[in-house]
Structure 1
Amino acid sequence: MQRWNDVSQIPSDIGGSVVTLGNFDGVHRGHRAVLTEVLAQAVDGLTSVAVTFDPHPVAVLYPERAPGLITSLDHRLALLEAAGVDAVLVLEFTREFAQLTPDEFVEQVFVDALSARVVVVGEDTRFGVRNSGDVATLLELGERFGFEVVTVRDQGADGEHSRWSSTQVRELLSDGDVGGAARVLGRPHRVSGVVVHGDHRGRELGYPTANLERHCDGLVPADGVYAGWLVRPQRPASDPDSTLPAAISIGTNPTFEGTSRRVEAYVLDRTDLDLYGEPVTLEFVARLRPTLRFDSVDELLDRMAEDVTKSREILSTMVPVQPA
């Protein structure tokens, strides 16, 4: 997959393209429905292109309302590549860029830079200054500039009243509903970071944990204990230690009067691992319980043993999904 960080990097001989645009945070099932239509339209040598933005527009225009990102830019690009598009154009979103009218954006990006023949969008697509452009605007501009517009209907599971969306995923994760988030994403949610030293209290208790650095990639779910996988991306997938079952804890360790929020994982039945300094990915499968404060260490140990048993039961019936 080609990555372009500016329209100046797009080859002048691109010929023609099928284009879609969006933030694509999470690259969830709704996004992938649009991407599938892009690939279906990209025939006769047309290049399939996803146009996205970095940073998130809300983070630039309304920093106080900026959403937590489900996926880092690198993960987003990996997921877009896995979806099969030929290229991604990552446009730097600035206040100046935000002043482009819908006409200016379409002419400069879709027409002049990408030679768009087809533009595929979801029903809720908005673009241009103050989000003043919508599907109707695109249809008018398509007639003017000679490209076709294909609209993909909102996607959602049977019986759900709301469509699949990044906002929905964020809300589910904020509630600790990692199973619900996985259904919208089409895969387990993941958080990545480098393993750092903690208090070493877990090792003293018989449950050594891998503590992730404070600033992780991926939206951290609500405090609680989860069953999941610890993935070691630097190891080949064929290595039996590349993906390991884990009990994951998020919270402040209230039993020990902790104040800083931490993400840590105990690899089930393993005390021999040295993960310090290694980048790892945690994939969340199921929430076991909220974070609790225990009156004694013995009570904590009893509950941790239960958590490990539940995690083992849940994960023993599953095959881990290798992240993109």
Structure 2
Amino acid sequence: MQVWTDVSQVPTAWGPSVVTLGNFDGVHRGHVAVLTRMVADARAVGAHAVAVTFTPHPAQVHRPLEAPPLLLGDADRLELLAGTGLDAALLVTYTLDFARQSPEEFVRRYLVDALHARTVVVGRDVRFGWQNAGDLTTMRRLGERHGFTVEVIEDVRPDDADEPGGYRRWSSTWVRELLAAGDVRAAADVLGRTHHVRGVVVHGDARGRELGYPTANLGHVAGMVPADGVYAGWLRRERRADGTPVPAAERVLPAAVSIGTNPTFDGHDRRVEAYVLDRTDLDLYDDEVALELVERLRPTLRFDSVEALLERMARDVEDVRAVLGLPRA
């Protein structure tokens, strides 16, 4: 998939295109269903399939104090979009100047002049242009003026109405609610994959190592961090600090992941850290890793003694083995 970060990067001869617009936060099952169908439709008419998306999320520009946490960082979002078969993605930097364009200006510059849209795929609630003045009726009118058709996509819902929440459409909002409750297993059902967060391993206070459970502490975390607690998951090594490849056997490792402030030691900073099961020899400092969160085992607890904490940590490790289908130690 080609990725352009400015409309000027789109090749002059690009097109014709089937284009869709959206934030695609999470690239959940609803997004994937729509995009894969769009790709198939584009192939059938000999057109390119293109997604126009934005960074940062428009809400972070217009309502920064109210903006929802993003489920994915840009790199992960683009990787997942590529997995749907798209030919290209135009990642537009969203600013107040960009937002001041009229609906006509946006459509003409991005969809018509740059991407040579033959079809534009939108939801019924599409809004675009200054103060969200453009809607579905506007898009259809502009399509008639500039020579493209408009295809309306309906909400995509789970096939099985008996599933928990089966009445509800797949959405980023639904995933955020589940993650905020710590229900990463249900979130995976909506996403179509295990939710993960990503970051570079930084030095912590080494308390885990002192207790016999050395942890990889993530610095700045990309992706929505779910509710505090202990999780069973996998640590996926993405990139070594020195650029050398990670051996295949060391790339995906079982882990107990702790999210919270470490109340037993009167901690105040919220941390995301992972203990790789049965490994005290790993040097992950400055490596980029992703933590795939499979199931929440328990909430964060305050223990009366280090001994009580160690006892529970040993139980947590065995619970991780059970969740991940690993043999007991």
For the criterion TM > 0.5, the same-fold answer is yes
5+ long unaligned stretches in structure 2: none
- The 5 A counterparts of 1:76-115 are 76-115=77-116
Residue 220 (structure 1) aligned with residue 229 (structure 2): no
CA contact (8 A) 1:176 1:223 kept: yes
How far is the alpha carbon of 1:248 from its aligned partner? 0.2
How far is the alpha carbon of 1:132 from its aligned partner? 2.7
How far is the alpha carbon of 1:37 from its aligned partner? 2.1
Residue 274 (structure 1) aligned with residue 283 (structure 2): yes
How far is the alpha carbon of 1:305 from its aligned partner? 1.2
CA contact (8 A) 1:172 1:181 kept: yes
* TM-score, scaled to structure 1: 0.93
Choose 249-258 or 128-137, whichever is displaced more. 128-137
CA–CA distance in structure 2, aligned partners of residues 134 and 101 of structure 1: 12
5+ long unaligned stretches in structure 1: 319-324
Residue 286 (structure 1) aligned with residue 291 (structure 2): no
How far is the alpha carbon of 1:263 from its aligned partner? 0.6
Counterpart of 1:51 in structure 2 is 52
- The 5 A counterparts of 1:54-203 are 54-157=55-158, 158-159=160-161, 160-203=166-209
1:103 is matched by which residue type in structure 2? Answer: E
Aligned partner of residue 223 in structure 2, secondary structure? coil
1:171 is matched by which residue type in structure 2? Answer: E
CA–CA distance in structure 1, aligned partners of residues 326 and 215 of structure 2: 23
Residue 265 (structure 1) aligned with residue 274 (structure 2): yes
CA contact (8 A) 2:178 2:184 kept: yes
Counterpart of 2:265 in structure 1 is 256
Alignment deviations for residues 58-104 of structure 1 (CA, whole Å, 9 cap, x no partner): 11111111221111111111111111111111111111211222222
CA–CA distance in structure 2, aligned partners of residues 37 and 88 of structure 1: 16
Alignment deviations for residues 236-289 of structure 1 (CA, whole Å, 9 cap, x no partner): 687111100111000111011111111110111111211112111100000001
Q: Structure 1's 237 and 156: CA in aligned 2 closer, same or farther, altered over 3 A?
A: farther
Counterpart of 2:255 in structure 1 is 246
**Over the residues paired in the alignment, what is the CA RMSD in angstroms?**
1.7
Counterpart of 2:20 in structure 1 is 20
* TM-score, scaled to structure 2: 0.92
2:169 is matched by which residue type in structure 1? Answer: R
Aligned partner of residue 119 in structure 2, secondary structure? strand
CA–CA distance in structure 1, aligned partners of residues 65 and 262 of structure 2: 28
1:305 is matched by which residue type in structure 2? Answer: A
1:232 is matched by which residue type in structure 2? Answer: R
Alignment deviations for residues 159-214 of structure 1 (CA, whole Å, 9 cap, x no partner): 3232111122122111111112111111111111111111111112111111111x
CA–CA distance in structure 2, aligned partners of residues 183 and 176 of structure 1: 14
CA contact (8 A) 1:34 1:120 kept: no
CA–CA distance in structure 2, aligned partners of residues 298 and 82 of structure 1: 47
